[in-house]
Amino acid sequence: MRKLLFTLCAGLLLTTGGYAQPTPRQLLPGLFEAVQLGRIFPDNKTFVDAVPLQSPATILAAWQQQKDTPGFRLEQFVRAHFRVPDGAAVAYQSNVAAGLRPHLDTLWTVLQRQPETQTTLYSSLLPLPRPYVVPGGRFREVYYWDSYFTMLGLQQAGRTALVRSMTDNFAYLINQYGFIPNGNRTYYLTRSQPPFFALMVQLLAEAQSDTVLRRYQAPLLREYAYWMAGADSLAPGTATRRVVRLRGGELLNRYWDDSTEPREESYVEDVEAARHSKQPAPQFYRNIRAAAASGWDFSTRWFGEEGTLASIRTTELVPVDLNCLLLTLEETIARTYAVQGQRATARQWEQKVRLRRQAIQLYCWNPAAGWFTDYDLTQRRPAAIRTLAGLFPLAFEVATPRQARQVVSGLQRDFLKEGGLLTTLTASGQQWDAPNAWAPLQYIAVQGLRRTRHPALADTVSNRWVRLNARVFQQTGKLLEKYNVIDTHLPAGGGEYPLQDGFGWTNGVLLKFLDSQKARR
């Protein structure tokens, strides 16, 4: 049994990028599939977060011995051999009467987790050295891009030490694994998420001066190397992993996952969805995983002409928002050299910024739509679908004034609803489509509007978002992961799991908006 386990794990490690940390599926071959496909738990994430109470070899041997005996119950077996996470998010009752601000202040403590003093053997959790804040609900670990928006609130709340701790944790992950995983779980070690680390460093520098830039230069450079790996050997019109060289020789990036297997945390959903796709299963799984790396899992933004999950083609698209984030990573690296007086090196990085800005303009501006869209590598033209990702070039000062005016016109006409801004204009049943809206995108849009001198519309968006958040809190005592901004009396829907409360990035953006409103009065 031990020899079989080693052989199976080694094979799986080869298919998931060669990372040394084995995942639950790699540790528990056969049993993993039986539990997930048998729907022992309504949410597939429950089992991958469970902690084995004995060695995997011991558990597998017991399962092999017992599974065919009369009266065997798999759920009972799992609960006897694993510490299963509690389904409840937190044992916390809101005090609605106290108001939003006291609720937010309490949630920072409720959602904070302390560093793991020692690694729990065979757990999927990757230990972190310093305290951090989790989103809440089923999300029991730190998440990469979520954390930046959580940090916005922590900064407003005067919790700079926790902002520093979380930034240090992400630097630790880069040093440990060469990149920041989607979350601190072994099953996330094949992909990253939208690269907000540079913005975290910028946020900390605002509070602690530019000396912060020097401190984080090495992890910033290493994250950049992760995103650009293989770029130097690319011929025009080709791509490798996360980097693409366009027809004119320009370099841009895409989302990617190193695995071609079903996601372990959504195993049943992926296996079932692959049956309906015309793509070979490995290709379909990679596209599903790449969409998870984008944070937009899932949206018609990534779908083919059929407009269904079965047609997902994430790796064929160059995302406009991703490339704006990598532009600010390049800008931040340039600043790390400038503050140390290394002007020649800083200018080299500033040149990378100029080239990326030009490439985003060339490939992602869709003049017919009056919008920034993803670039379609297969069709060799900007994608037709407009999404709120088109506001990133405004927020990161890529858009010209004329382009910004066109985007703002379309935003006000088509995306602005009673509760805020739609994610896309398509009602597909996917959670990153209409009628849903998400805190991080409201924040980016408001930043873009302010930076392109459209303060009135920025105020309208933030006011509507705050009003919706506050009303739902008054009715439910909760701040939610996402909201329905068309019919604000109905909950948001879609996705692979029930609507989650907590919720890290909602809390952070809400407090930022509340304080901005107060400052403008």
Q: What is 412-449 written as a DSSP string?
A: IIIIEETTEE-SBS---S-TTSTTEE-HHHHHHHHHHH
Cβ-based burial of 76 (10 A; exposed 0-12, middle 13-18, buried ≥19): exposed
Alpha helix locations (H) across 72-123? 74-81, 100-110
For residue 382, list its beta bridge partners: 375
DSSP 498: P
Alpha carbons within 13 angstroms on the beta-carbon side of residue 171 total 21
Give residue 233's Cα distance to chain centre: 29
With H, G, I as helix, E, B as strand and everything else as coil, classify residue 11: helix
Residue 394 structure tokens: 């405004």
Residue 263: burial class (beta carbons within 10 Å; 0-12, 13-18, 19+): buried
Cα separation, 421 vs 410, in Å, equals 12
Helix (H, G, I), strand (E, B) or coil at 328: helix
Strands 51-52 and 82-83: antiparallel
* Alpha-carbon distances of 140 from 48, 123, 266, rounded to whole Å: 12, 13, 15
Which residues are tagged catalytic? 297, 481
Dihedral over alpha carbons 171, 174, 179, 181 (to 10 degrees): -70
